[in-house]
Amino acid sequence: MITVKKARLCYVLLGILLGCSCSDVSRDEAAEMDRFVTELMGKMTLHEKLGQLNLPSGGDMVTGTVMNGELSDMIRKQEIGGFFNVKGVRRINALQRLAVEESRLKIPLLVGADVIHGYETIFPIPLALSCSWDTLAIERMARISAIEASADGINWTFSPMVDICRDARWGRIAEGSGEDPYLGSLMARAYVRGYQGNSLQGNDEILACVKHFALYGASESGRDYNTVDMSRLRMYNEYLAPYKAAVDAGVGSVMSSFNIIDGIPATANKWLLTDLLRDEWSFGGLLVTDYNSIAEMASHGIAPLKEASVRALKAGTDMDMVSCGFLNTLEESLKEGKIMEDQINTACRRVLEAKYKLGLFSNPYKYGDTLRVKEQLYTAEHRSAARAIASETFVLLKNENHLLPLGLKGKIALVGPMADARNNMCGMWSMACTASRHGTLLEGIRSAAGDKAEILYAKGSNVYEDAEMEKAAAGIRPLEHEDNRKLLDEALRVASRADVIVAALGECAEMSGESASRTNLEIPDAQQNLLKALLKTGKPVVLLLFTGRPLVLNWEDANVHSILNVWFGGSETGDAVADVLFGKVTPSGKLTTTFPRSVGQLPLFYNHLNTGRPDPDNRVFNRYASNYLDESNEPLYPFGFGLSYTDFVYGDLQISSETLPKNGELTASVTVTNKGNYDGYETVQLYLRDIYAEVARPVKELKGFERIFLKSGESCDVKFVITEDDLKFYNSELHYIYEPGEFEIMIGTNSRDVKTKCFIAK
C-alpha cells in the first residue's frame, strides 16, 4: 500500500480547504501532496490514468438508463477511479479491497452516492429544508448524513444541489433551495460544511459535490434535461451565486449539468468549466460529469462518444460518470493528436488529489466500518434531530379561525392516500433507506393521540383515478390501486363519525425529483374529488399537503379551512406532523419558492425586474399594462410566506440615517412582538431595491434575515446592518459594483407584506 505522512496531511487539507494558501505549512503540505501524486503518476500507464477518470454506476440504485460492466474486473484492471450506487459496508469494502489488494498500483477508490437528504435517517427533501431558513439545521442534517453514509463506506456525496429554480413544472425544484440566490448561497455553504466537516480527515467527513453546474434549474418549460439560454448578466446576478458560495466554502468537487448553455452542453462547455469555474473562481477540486452526459452529447447534436469525450476533457472535465467515453476512446484520440497527454494528466491528478485529501491513501478502509454501521445508523439521536428539523420545514398556508392546532380530544378522521403510505413519506432521494423501519403518518398521529383522541382512518382515494397514470406517477414506490368509488364511500362513512377531518393528500414521492416534470400542478383528480366530498360534510377540514413543488391551490385556498404543507418530511414525518398538528411545535416554515395561481404564470418569482408598464393594482387584466387577460400577476402564496399559530406584529421600520455614507453603514430595525397565545419562531426578512441603475434591478432582493424565537407576549428588536456590499450587483460589463443613489429598504414577514423606507447611498 502507498503511504503518506498522516500527521502532516491534516495541515494539507486544512490549508487547501480553508484556502490558507498564504500559510507556509499549507504550502509545504500542498507540495507534499503534489510530490506524492507526481510519484504515483510516474508509475501509471496511460490506460491506468484513463481508468482514474472513469466513474461507473454499481447499479444498485439506477438513476439513468445505462448500466456498466462487471465492476470487479474493472477494478482489478484499474479501469475505474471510483463507483457509485452500491449500498452496504461489506460490499463496498470488498470492492475497495479488490482495488488496494488486487490491482497493480493499489490505488483506492472513490465511493459515491446520492446522499441528498439523509442516508438511513431521512430528513425532509431539500426544498423543504430550505423553508426552515435554518442554516444550522441544514448543516446538522448534512453532518448526520455524512456520519451515516461514511460508516457504510461512502466517501463522496453528490450533494448539495443548488440550482435556482423559478418554474414549479420542473420536478427537480424539490432537490434545491428554491428561487433565491442569497438564501441559496447560505444553504450551499451549510451543506458543504456539514458534509466535509473541518478538514475531511475525520472518518465521518466526506467529499461534497455541488451540482448541477450550471443553470440546470432554468430548463426551458420546466421540462427536465431541457435547454437553457440565458444572458451572462442574468447568470451572474441571479443564478451563479450558490455554486460560487459552495466553491468558496471549499467544496471538494463539482458536477456539471445535463443542459445546454449557449448552445454547448455544460459537460463540454469550456467557458463554464474552465474560464469561469477554474480561472475566475479558482476551483482546484474534482469536476465530474452528470450521468452519461458525455454520451448524451450525441443526442444533443454535438458529437458521437469519441469526439464528445475529447470535447469534455478539453473543456475541463476530470471524471466521466457512466458513459465510459474517457476510458474507451481517449487513448486513440491521443494517438490521433486530438488531445494532449497533459490534459489527461491534469484530470488524473485531480482524481488522485481528491483521494489524497480524503486520506484514502493512508487508510483505504477509513470509511467503511461494520461497527459504526451497527452503532451510528438510524440512531435515536439522529431520528430525534430529523423529527425536530422536519417540523421546522412545514409551512402553514392557511388557518381559518385558528382551526390548528387540533385539540387532543374527540374523533379525528385521517383520510387520504398519503396517510398510511410508508414508502412515500421520505421523498425522492431516499432509495438507500430502509422504509420498513419508518412509521407512517397514521402511526405518528395515533401515537401522539394516545387515549386522548380517537383516530379514525380511511385511504379515501387513489392518487389518480386512472391506474396507468398512477403507476407512472408512483414509479418505484407503488401504491395499491383500488376501486375509487369504494374508497370514497368508506371515507365518507369514516368522516361522518368524526369531529374534524385531516386530509393527507397531494403528490406521491416520485411525482417530484428527477424526470418528474408536470404541466398540471393541481392536486391529482381522485384526491381533489375526495377533498370536495369531505368538505361537503360541513365538518372542519385540514389539508395536510404532501408535495415536492409548489402546487396550484386556488380552490383549496378558497374552500379548505386549514392547509399545512408538509412536503416530504423524511423518515420521521409521522411524529413531526403530529408535533405540529397538535401544537407541541408551532409551525415556522416560510416558502422559498413562490406558489403560483396558474401554470400559465410560470416562471414566477418574487425578485423579478419591472416592465416599463407594471400593473400597479395587480388586477386581472388591465389593458396595456403588463399582465394577463385571465389571471392577476400575483402569486397565491409569495416567497417568504408562512403563517404561525401565534401572531407576530411588526412595529415601524426605523433606519439609523437616510444616507449610507461611502464605506459606512446604516442600521435598519424593527420591533417584532408575539401577540398571540403560542411561543414560536418568526423569520424576519430584509429586502432591498436599487431604484435606478445602469442595468435594471429586481423589484426587491432578499439581503438578510433573522430567525427569532419569541414567547407569547415577548418583543424583540431585530437589527440589520447594511453596507455597500449589500448594494452590489454585476453591471453590463460584469463588474461587481454598487452605484450611489436611491434605494428602498423593506422589512417584513414575507416578500409581499413589508414596511418600506428609502435611503441614499453615497
Q: With CA atoms as reference, report the closest residue to 589 among 714, 680, 523.
A: 680
Q: Quote the DSSP letter at residue 439.
A: P
Q: Active site residue: 163, 204, 224, 290, which one?
A: 290
Q: Which of 29, 79, 114, 572 binds ligand BGC (CB under 6 A)?
A: 114
CB of 107 to ligand BGC, least distance (A): 22
Q: Which of 291, 367, 645, 759 binds ligand BGC (CB under 6 A)?
A: 291
Enter the C-alpha cell of residue 618. Answer: 395587480
CB of 157 to ligand BGC, least distance (A): 9
CB of 292 to ligand BGC, least distance (A): 8
Q: Determine whether 331 is exposed, middle or buried from the number of CB atoms within 10 Å of its CB (0-12, 13-18, 19+).
A: middle
Q: Cα–Cα distance between 214 and 287 in angstroms, integer? A: 12
- Return the number of the residue (114 or 152) whose C-beta is nearest ligand BGC: 114
- Using CA atoms, how far residue 390 sits from 240, 376, 449, 545, 589, in Å, is 28, 20, 19, 14, 10
Contact by Cβ (8 Å): 233, 265: no
Beta bridge partners of 718: 670
Beta bridge partners of 541: 501
CB of 113 to ligand BGC, least distance (A): 8
Cα–chain center distance at 298: 29
Q: With CA atoms as reference, report the closest residue to 148 among 622, 660, 570, 752.
A: 570
Pattern of binders to ligand BGC over 394-413, x per CB under 6 A?
Answer: --------------------
Q: Cα–Cα distance between 570 and 660 in angstroms, integer? A: 45
Contact by Cβ (8 Å): 555, 515: no
Is residue 290 flagged as an active site residue? Answer: yes
- Return the number of the residue (345 or 515) whose C-beta is nearest ligand BGC: 515
Q: Cα–Cα distance between 267 and 288 in angstroms, integer? A: 9
User: Which residues in the 205-224 window bind ligand BGC by CB under 6 A?
Assistant: 211
Q: With CA atoms as reference, report the closest residue to 583 among 727, 449, 484.
A: 449
Contact by Cβ (8 Å): 140, 385: yes
Site membership for ligand BGC, residue 296 (CB under 6 A) = no
Q: Cα–Cα distance between 51 and 213 in angstroms, integer? A: 24
If one counts every other C-beta atom within 10 angstroms of the C-beta of residue 83, the result is: 25
SS3 content of the chain, % helix, strand, coil (to 5): 35, 20, 45
CB of 253 to ligand BGC, least distance (A): 11
CB of 433 to ligand BGC, least distance (A): 15
CB of 63 to ligand BGC, least distance (A): 4
Total binding residues for ligand BGC by CB under 6 A? Answer: 8
ω before 405 within 30° of 0 (cis)?
yes
CB of 386 to ligand BGC, least distance (A): 22
Beta bridge partners of 546: 506
Enter the C-alpha cell of residue 712. Answer: 407569547
CB of 116 to ligand BGC, least distance (A): 8
- Return the number of the residue (517 or 527) whose C-beta is nearest ligand BGC: 517
CB of 171 to ligand BGC, least distance (A): 11
Q: Cα–Cα distance between 410 and 407 in angstroms, integer? A: 8
- Return the number of the residue (15 or 194) whose C-beta is nearest ligand BGC: 194
Contact by Cβ (8 Å): 256, 23: no
- Return the number of the residue (211 or 689) whose C-beta is nearest ligand BGC: 211
Site membership for ligand BGC, residue 63 (CB under 6 A) = yes
Q: With CA atoms as reference, report the closest residue to 124 among 689, 486, 509, 557.
A: 509
Q: Which of 290, 392, 572, 579 binds ligand BGC (CB under 6 A)?
A: 290
Contact by Cβ (8 Å): 312, 54: no
Pattern of binders to ligand BGC over 495-534, x per CB under 6 A?
Answer: -------------------x--------------------
For cell 374529488, the residue is: 529
Report the first-to-last Cα separation within the chain, whole angstroms: 62
Beta bridge partners of 730: 736
Q: Which of 11, 83, 156, 158 binds ligand BGC (CB under 6 A)?
A: 158
Contact by Cβ (8 Å): 530, 460: yes
Q: Quote the DSSP letter at residue 399.
A: E
> 669: helix, coil or strand?
strand
For 591-641, give the DSSP string.
-SSPBPS-GGG-S--SSPPP-SS--TT--S--TTSSS-SSS-S--SB-TT-
Site membership for ligand BGC, residue 641 (CB under 6 A) = no
- Return the number of the residue (296 or 690) whose C-beta is nearest ligand BGC: 296
- Return the number of the residue (113 or 138) whose C-beta is nearest ligand BGC: 113
CB of 515 to ligand BGC, least distance (A): 8
- Return the number of the residue (193 or 211) whose C-beta is nearest ligand BGC: 211
User: Which residues in the 446-485 window bind ligand BGC by CB under 6 A?
Assistant: none
112 Cβ neighbours under 8 A, 6+ residues apart: 55, 82, 83, 84, 85, 154, 155, 156, 157, 158, 209
Site membership for ligand BGC, residue 64 (CB under 6 A) = yes
Give the catalytic positions in this structure. 290
Give the residues lining the site for ligand BGC (CB under 6 A): 63-64, 114, 158, 211, 290-291, 514
